[in-house]
Amino acid sequence: MRIRIINTLLISMLLVLSSMSFNVFAKAIVTKADLEREKRMAVEVEDAVLDGEVIFLEDTVNEGHAFMAIDMEAEAEESDKAEKGAVLILHGRGFHPNWEDAIYPLRTQLPVSGWRTLSLQMPVLEKSAKYYDYVPLFPQAAARIDMGITYLKQQGVKKIVILAHSCGAHMAMDWVRNQKGLLDESVIGYIGAGMGATDYKQKMAEPFPLAEMKVPVLDIYGDKDYPAVLRMAEGRLTDIKMAGNPKSSQVIVPGGDHYFKGKGNEVTAAVATWLNSL
């Protein structure tokens, strides 16, 4: 009788879980970032940073932990290159704030156009982790975005644009969604690069809230990006247009793959042109 009761309870629990939406289920899972891996990455990356200053910001979720960021001030040698604002950069899944393909060109070249950059270390898991493994980490990522904004404001920055690549875009969009339209007054724009990439048979937990975003949005991706990114491009553009900001745009980088390998200059030029139109 006792075995039957236990089996019945287990079946009931499975039925309840199967009826939950993925988003609810994911948020019910307690997943911790791999802080040890992050610390190892920080040691390796810090020694390799020649452009900008490595800083460590308080992790308000993981007590006693500080996460790495790379701050690079805008060049101000000429009057027309005075600091115009800052770009808060979020890297893709499992990478770091000095990642050579998609991040390094942006964080080091945008300051030449007058935009300070702050590239954050986002939460990481083991190398084999997939998109669904990362979804429960989104609240931890949101706390880091908030801390990055706070730091920049403390440095006197008045205008901030968030630039997020790949899984960083999923994290940024979750942060935007939870702001419920009330973004920090200093956030004047959003740039999503390679938006919509997940893993095989893993659908997005929630749609991007692009249609509700009133700040200018730049959706940039390569024409050789992952199929999911390309497939969703038309829908993203429709949502961006629905939001109604005339400064929003969608840009395709010819020959660019998901990581923009060999296309750092082209991506940076496109982003700088858009930023300077704000």
Domain residue ranges in the chain? 1-30, 32-275
Per residue in 112-170, pLDDT tens?
999 999 999 999 999 999 999 999 999 999 999 999 999 999 999 999 999 999 999 99
Q: Taking the model in full, what pTM does it have? A: 0.87
The amino acid present at 12, given as its one-letter code, is S
Nearest of 96, 113, 86 to residue 47 by alpha carbon: 96
Contact 128, 54 (CB under 8 A): no
pLDDT at 181 over 80: no
In this prediction, residue 77 carries a pLDDT of 57
DSSP 97-156: TT-TTTTHHHHHHGGGGTEEEEEEPPP---TT--HHHHGGGHHHHHHHHHHHHHHHHHTT
The mean pLDDT value of the chain amounts to 89
pLDDT at 25 over 70: no
In this prediction, residue 75 carries a pLDDT of 86
Give the strand pairing for 53-58 and 66-72.
Answer: antiparallel
Share of the chain above pLDDT 90, in %: 82
* Homologous superfamily of 32-275: Alpha/Beta hydrolase fold, catalytic domain (3.40.50.1820)
